[in-house]
Amino acid sequence: MKLNKAISPILATVILIAVTLVIAIGVIGWIMGIWGTFGATETIQVFADSYINASASGKELRLHIKNAGTASAVIYKIEVLGLTTITTEYTLIPGNETTLSVSLGNVSPVPGTSYQIKIYTKAGNVYPATIIAR
């Protein structure tokens, strides 16, 4: 006497559909970045009193910034569109506010001109701002 013991085709179909749905939800969440938003994030704020010092004696970028996020922000590049790109390594811990002074080298910013800047972090974020040369 031969006994066949297996799950019914209906139960097998229900299990396959449930597994497919769980995988689909995980993939969609990963693609849309939903799961990453629940962790710590960095948020850099650039204050309005930031400026470019265009004097002949010391051309520098003075950024008044704050990390309003919950994770440390590691700034590795600052781009002043139309002027220069500055490579740096600066870590701003959550809640900290500072004024970052960076030399611009041999560029010639025009006083009274607005410049677009972009701050790049190692987390892959880019923070744009507009500042004025004094």
pTM over 0.75, yes/no: no
pLDDT at 63: 93
Which structural domain range is residue 54 located in? 44-133
Question: So what's the pLDDT on residue 70?
Answer: 87
Say which CATH number the domain at 50 has: 2.60.40.1890
Q: What is the CA radius of gyration of the chain?
A: 26
Same domain, 30 and 52: no
**Is pLDDT above 80 for 109?**
yes
Using the predicted structure, report yes or no on whether residue 35 has a pLDDT greater than 80.
no
- Where are the strands (E) in 12-57, listed by range? 44-46, 51-53
* Rounded (5°) CA angle 100-105-107: 110
pLDDT bucket at 20, cuts 50 / 70 / 90: very high
The neighbour count for residue 111, using CB atoms within 10 Å, is: 11
Confidence of residue 28 (pLDDT cuts 50, 70, 90): confident
Same domain (yes/no): 33, 97: no
Same domain? 117 vs 67? yes
Rounded to whole angstroms, the Cα distance separating 23 from 27 reads 6
The total of other beta-carbon atoms located within 10 Å of residue 77's CB is 15
The answer to whether position 21 is within a domain reads: yes
36 has pLDDT over 60: no
Kindly tell me if the per-residue pLDDT of 5 is higher than 80: no
Q: What is the pLDDT of residues 58-86, one digit of tens each?
A: 788 999 999 998 889 999 999 999 888 88
As a whole number of angstroms, the distance between CA 62 and CA 81 comes to 15
